[in-house]
Structure 1
Amino acid sequence: MKTPTEHTLTKVPEVTFAFWLIKIVATTLGETGGDAVSMSMHLGYLVGTGIFASIFLVTVIAQIKAKKFHPFLYWATIVATTTVGTTLADFTDRSLGIGYAGGSSLLLALLLGSLYVWHRTLGSVSMSTISSPKAEAFYWITIMFSQTLGTALGDWTADTAGLGYTGAALLFGGLLALIAAAYYWTSLSRTLLFWAAFILTRPLGAVVGDFLDKPLNAGGLALSRYSASAALLTFMLIAILLFRQRAARTVH
């Protein structure tokens, strides 16, 4: 006789259109918020990284200790990864002098290494398997690396490659559209497509964030980083309240 399939709830949300909408807004907020602290407040990339890394550790510990899925806690942790990713990437690329290409290569290696160790340890990197503290730890470490990589990749594409913020946004938006098409019309691994989309939303958010707050002569709109961050945060909170967030299910 077949054993009935057992379903349990994870502490991460179902992957829906609302998930991707909020994720892109969160990554854009991470860019403007990170720049507001490190640049507008003149605290520098290292101090900014220390501040956001502390927030990241607090939210991740709270997320892992939580007994069930809490939408606001989950998205607060995502925002923490995007802000620390912004300041850490800028510190690596600019303060350490590695450059966008070197920073992106280093962070890509760290991201792939994290996914590899996660898969070797637990046998899967699928969202549907995130049901233990160890899996959650791998999940958040991988996300932090992906957010940091996305910042460096966005800056590299917009600045070094010369596409500008608009051109880079169109590039990453187009790549995300291709991944969506592959999801609906091919049999490619859903886990592979998820992580590809997850990684690409970060550089998209990075270049959109830069477009909002960079000077006019640099191709931006020259909006205040504080007001842009406040508007993005408000939109994100409304979206979380408006679109019901449900915990993803894991199958045993």
Structure 2
Amino acid sequence: MKDDAASFTEEAVSKVPQVTLGFWIIKVAATTLGETGGDWVSMSLKLGYLIGSAIFLVFFIALVSAQIKARNFRPFLYWATIIATTTLGTTMADFADRSLGIGYPGGVALVVALLAASLAIWYRSEGTVSVQSIVTAKAEWFYWITILFSQTLGTALGDWVAGEDRGGLGVGYEYGAMIFGAGLLVVAALYFWSRVSHTALFWAAFILTRPLGATLGDLLDKPVAEGGLHISRLYASGILLAFIIACIVLLPQRSARREPAV
């Protein structure tokens, strides 16, 4: 029985990739694709944020279910699920701060509460929120729901910092990307030169890469008058998707090894 339990633990953990530089490169590209892809469906196709969210929710549930049923780490399935969370996070954040009319600060506050609740419930249920201790289907659902809320928060933060309307700080997309990039450098410094929990730093970095991707996505597709490059959302999404596929093929993709929760 003990050998069976150990085998199951290794199998479950193997579905989560090691967190390497390649992981973060693909993550930023995926979050940028989430911004351009989400905006293409909800804005360019004029389906609206609610319908767009419903469409991406179907993909999210289907891909998470497939990820949970998988018996080992499958890079393309894993990153497809990440992309599903980031596109859904984009439309959910836009629906909250625009369709609900609560503005960017209200959207940020709402998603912070949802993310905090997700982490708290996960921790109370499993005793840890470490991504290297996911050994049950329930823990995997917590993992993906928390990722979804972190992606949504990242979108809301990016819009709040860069946007000028709806209570935004109006710093612009270029400066917004610089701010979140600096935040990531701080997290990296804490990772290498402090004793701060690596689990806490992982989630901080995961959240910060989302607004970095969101501002980069806005920089690509927004009009020149608004500080963007005015590239078609569809073309930008296609370029980003090709880049992600190339990274998955070329960069090492190994499953995570189980480590003690921190």
**Alignment equivalent of 2:138, drawn from 134, 141, 146:** 134
Structure 1 residue 251: deviation in Å? 4.4
CA distance in 2, matches of 1:185, 1:211: 33
Distance in 2 (CA, whole Å) between partners of 1:222 and 1:100 is 23
**1:86/1:151 contact within 8 Å kept:** yes
Residues 176-231 of structure 1: per-residue CA shift (max 9 Å, x gap): 00100111111111001000000110011001000000001011000000100000
CA positional deviation for 1:250:
1.5
SS at match of 1:168: helix
Partners of 2:154 and 2:139 in 1: how far apart? 22
Unaligned runs of 5+ in 2: 1-5
What TM-score, normalized by structure 1, do the two folds share?
0.96
Counterpart for residue 46 of structure 1:
50
Deviation at 1:131, TM superposition (A): 1.8
Distance in 1 of aligned mates of 2:28 and 2:259: 28
Contact 1:131/1:250 (<8 A) preserved: no
The equivalent residue for 1:8 is 10
- The counterpart of 2:150, out of the listed 133, 137, 146, is 146
Q: CA deviation at 1:43?
A: 0.8
Summarize deviations over 1:38-84 as a string: whole Å, max 9, x none. Answer: 11111111111111011001000000111111000000000000000
Partner SS state of residue 10, structure 2: strand
Q: What do residues 75-101 of structure 1 show as CA deviations (whole Å, max 9, x unaligned)? A: 000000000000111011101101100
> What are the Cα deviations for residues 117-162 of structure 1, in whole angstroms up to 9, with x where unaligned?
1011100001110121111010001001111111111000001111
Corresponding residue for 1:86? 90
* Distance of aligned partners of 1:250 and 1:157 in 2 relative to their CA distance in 1, 3 Å threshold: same
Which one of the candidate residues 234, 237, 240 is aligned to 2:242?
234
Percent identity (aligned): 60
The residue type paired with residue 194 of structure 1 is: F
Residue among 55, 62, 69 paired with 1:65 = 69
How many residues align structurally? Answer: 247
Aligned residue type for 2:87: T
**1:73 aligns to what SS in structure 2?**
helix
Match of 1:22 among 23, 26, 30: 26
Distance of 1:201 and 1:180 partners within structure 2 = 12
2:165 is the counterpart of 1:161: no
Report what 2:197 is aligned to. 189
Query: Which of residues 56, 75, 82 is equivalent to 2:79?
Result: 75
Counterpart of 1:247? 255
Report if aligned partners of 1:31, 1:82 keep a CA contact under 8 Å in 2: yes
Distance 2:170 2:106 in 1: 17
Mark the CA change 1:43 to 1:120 in structure 2 (over 3 Å): closer, same or farther. Answer: same
Structure 2 partner of 1:3: none
Tell me the SS of whatever aligns to 1:177: helix
Judging by fraction of residues, say which structure has more strand: 1
Distance 2:56 2:170 in 1: 30
Aligned partner (choices 84, 99, 102) of residue 106 of structure 2: 102
CA distance in 2, matches of 1:131, 1:236: 27
Compute the RMSD of aligned alpha carbons.
1.0
Q: Distance in 1 between matches of 2:74 and 2:136?
A: 16
Q: Which runs of 4+ in 1 moved over 3 A?
A: none
Report the Cα distance in structure 1 between the residues aligned to 2:228 and 2:259, rounded to whole angstroms.
46
State TM-score, norm by structure 2.
0.92
2:27 and 2:136 map into 1 onto residues whose CA distance is 23
Match of 2:3 in 1: none
**In 2, Cα distance between the equivalents of 1:211 and 1:78?**
21
